[in-house]
Structure 1
């Protein structure tokens, strides 16, 4: 799967300065803690670990569950703080360990800290900083996965047309990393390359090139001796994609290496339309669920069932959560996705590593940005939780109130009832249950909506025999009202009275029915890339990218879909750099 993050959280920049210092004796300086560590590679002073690593790779990787990614930090380009995260501290790993994680993946982009010409030397100061961060995590009793990260697309991708140079640089980099960390404990794992890709190559060529890199990585690390002789080595599929063909290719490489200390790695970000909310993928529906169950079944059957552990090196969705933008994936749908992912991983015997570019754990405060969201992730590590078809019940203000029904998804649990705070609702009076059909009565909804103000009037909890309760917001709404507007392709907004409703998606079509916008393969454009709601500002923003992709003087019909089920049409026309919008 392509490694995509929101630009605000995962920016790709051009080459920065190139370091060309000779790698000699590496002294690790305690940049944040004031602690001085021993010379790198000195077997007399290896990092200490509180963990006794099981002998078998399967057991060791199982002991790493759950895992967390130190994303957008040492992998940031060109430097540790370039993508908005503060410098790593020991306290960060203290927090991660205290929150129940047993391992961390530390992605590292070496590009701007390694000479681009022979002998491809890694800057000593950067290497010592990497080692300091790794040793802090090891000292907390965490397993650590250390890798070569965005180098994959920065220069490794040129291997088809610049084979010898790429191979020499890759080998030189891993030779230096392996030497530096050769005497670290076995709780440190090496991952050859993140999401490998190769430009201008056939599928067969890509398979051969990745096999070559993985094999060379294996040879270099094993030959470096010390703890590297039996260290767990993590090998990816092409792009870290969990397709059957690519996992078969990796399985063939592993079979050729005849090494019991190998780990397969793939990533999972869900069914693409759901993961970014495009092409109508607003819900975690049967299609999205099948994509997940099939992916984990393939991981299990291809590797786990054959005695090869799987480390899911990254998981989440490609666009949610993103604290800098409105939620592109509706919260309840995202919770259902994360709940099932934890379950499917446990069934498949796969260790999971949450991708966190700063979206979950605030690195400045060391607090979860959304504790309730993290609670669902943490709960999924050990048990199932019941959910429902929605986490919202919309009650129209301008119409008589009628009973409304949700479908419960018990997920193997038993429904125990509905609560509003500490007050238990009364079955038969406030709700009825027929099979998994939970119906809120008109009388209950009348009481819960109170003065019938727009927005969330009450929140109920559906409680189950185990796991977390499922929250249901009772929302008063009327269909949104849009107004005429003018603007430019650089700045255009649709004045919007949301009236309690929440935007789900947007369709864009020309008069002949063809698709309009940058995603021309679907009428449903991507949330936050083509359009974005501004609830407090009372508007819907159409992005410059979307507007720039429209044909001049060709009227476009926009259909805005809201979570209440309401749809509202709007018309925009671009003429040169100006944009005119008209409400239906």
Structure 2
């Protein structure tokens, strides 16, 4: 995720409940003939061991504590399991622990330490997602550097896969984390065509490398991602689903940004309370994931989500209910990003205090578990309801991509809910914010803020249930755009 480094001046914390030795032979489990969808069904709530094994800066085993977090112990993982989470993502940065080309040999001590932490979770019967995390210094999804990036990615994953190939189906490999070109204008908006094409190549290279190692890796569930783990229409544009049947797709979605983060400058659209007005952003996200991936038989997992601490724990609980409940309705499992940072500033996503193994925002942790349909210790469960059939009012969705108060860039998604295929389509709708320009669609007419827009020449067909997204610029207006008077024919 996008993060500011935790202060390296934080006092290193005492270990809690030392690192209990765990026999690898006892924890590996078995490899069943199980589909990704079935695995996702067995998963409940997920938690990230963030800013520990993914920390970087010292090129040694000390990386794990370099950002101020204590060394990971079995007691920490037990606390996560005992709270009710059954899925843990272990982010790992490998780039500072490999030798030179062409072998990129991983340091044995680092590999052993990663395996030790994986075994902590496997011993608790948890699902484990193991990734390559902060690798943007060498993993560059662009045609100009693709060959070098691909070779290093393949070398690293071949070694990881060899080390863990005897492990059962509770261990999943996640090929990349937020692959992107740092500092580019579209770093966080889904990249460009060149970058997205490069990510497709890297995803396939990861899959091929793991499968070639054999053993249980021949059918291990592997997790791939779009550019930057972006789940918006632009991020999923041109995204290729490999023919491999044992894959999931990972998305990161801190939605809506004004509530989940602390935007610089405290803009007017930043929020500390959750009154449901931003729920449409969550609905837009989930609907797009459903249309683009789930409806095509692809299992989706949100491997990072969360909301920072703003002295608003009860409000975050409300947000979690809306977010996780809707995700669960679509079969999407959610993994909270926990960086063990708990102060009321910065990127304070912490839920578990790893020093004391106690929960600093326990009601939030409980909510994540409850609305995922998981049992809360000492509490009940919340069984998600079946998603409602979309109504005509859902035909047009507007999502703000970038807002600078006096104007904004947005995506408008048209979904065919007429029950029949359309060969040449026209939609009419009214917004409470003016469109100043648009692309990838045809403006037929405008009366005030009521617009009639037709398909572009190259996209006349819209099957029943299918969606099409075009872009536009908006004038000034509310951060949450309201759409009324929708028709599609």
Match for residue 8 of structure 1 among 3, 6, 9: 6
Residues 46 and 114 (structure 1 numbering): CA distance in 2 closer, same or farther, change over 3 Å?
Answer: farther
Greater RCO (CA < 8 Å, at least 6 residues apart): 2
Aligned to 2:126: 142
What does residue 397 of structure 2 align with?
Answer: none
Q: What residue is the counterpart of 1:294 in the other structure?
A: 284
- Equivalences for residues 529-540 of structure 1 within 5 A: none
Change (3 A) 1:344 1:223: same
Q: Map 1:39-438 to 2 at 5 A.
A: 45=25, 47-49=27-29, 55-78=34-57, 79-151=63-135, 153-157=136-140, 159-198=142-181, 203-250=192-239, 253-254=240-241, 257-277=242-262, 278-280=266-268, 281-282=270-271, 283-284=273-274, 288-317=278-307, 320-321=308-309, 327=310, 330-358=312-340, 359-382=350-373
CA distance change for structure 1 residues 520 and 348 in 2, over 3 Å: closer, same or farther? closer
Q: Which residue of 2 aligns with 1:33?
A: 19
How far is the alpha carbon of 1:367 from its aligned partner?
Answer: 0.7
What pairs up with 1:525-564 in 2 under 5 angstroms? none
- C-alpha displacement of 1:83: 1.3
Deviations 1:8-54 (A, max 9, x none): 3799xxxxxxxxxxxxxxxxxxx95363756xxxxxx47433x8857
Q: How far apart are 1:85 and its partner, in Å?
A: 1.4
- Indicate conservation of the 8 Å contact 2:352/2:360, yes or no: yes
How far residue 305 of structure 1 moved from its aligned partner, in angstroms, is 2.5
How many residue pairs match? The answer is 350
Aligned mates of 2:209, 2:26 — CA distance in 1: 20
Moved more, 184-193 or 236-245: 236-245
Whether the aligned pair in 1 keeps the contact of 2:222 and 2:246 (CA below 8 Å) is yes
Give, in angstroms, the shift of residue 175 of structure 1: 1.1
Q: Secondary structure at the match of 2:318?
A: helix
The Cα shift of 1:287 comes to 5.1
User: 1: distance between equivalents of 2:248 and 2:254?
Assistant: 20
Report if the CA contact (8 A) 1:67-1:101 is conserved: yes
1:178 deviates by 1.1
Q: Tell me how far 1:378 sits from its aligned partner.
A: 2.9
Q: Is the 8 A contact 2:22 2:120 kept in 1?
A: no
CA contact 2:85–2:369 (8 Å) conserved in 1 = no
CA distance 1:159–1:113, change in 2 (3 Å): farther
Asked whether the equivalents of residues 46 and 183 of structure 1 are also in contact (C-alpha less than 8 Å), the reply is: no
Structure 1 residue ranges without an equivalent (≥5): 12-30, 39-44, 322-326, 384-464, 468-518, 524-584
TM-score of the pair, normalised by structure 2: 0.66
Bigger Rg over Cα: 1
- 1:259-281 CA-to-partner distances (Å, cap 9, x unmatched) read 21110110110122233344222
Matched position secondary structure for 1:206: helix
Structure 2 residue ranges without an equivalent (≥5): 10-16, 58-62, 341-349, 375-379, 383-401, 407-489
Distance 1:262 1:373, change over 3 A: closer
CA contact (8 A) 1:46 1:184 kept: no
Aligned to 2:473: none
- Indicate the residue corresponding to 1:504 in structure 2: none
Once the two structures are superposed, residues 397-426 of structure 1 have per-residue CA deviations (whole angstroms, 9 ceiling, x without a partner) of xxxxxxxxxxxxxxxxxxxxxxxxxxxxxx
Q: 1:103/1:296 Cα in 2 relative to 1: closer, same or farther (>3 Å)?
A: same
Determine the C-alpha separation between the residues in 2 that align with 1:285 and 1:36.
Answer: 46
CA gap 1:32/1:119 in 2 versus in 1, 3 angstroms = farther
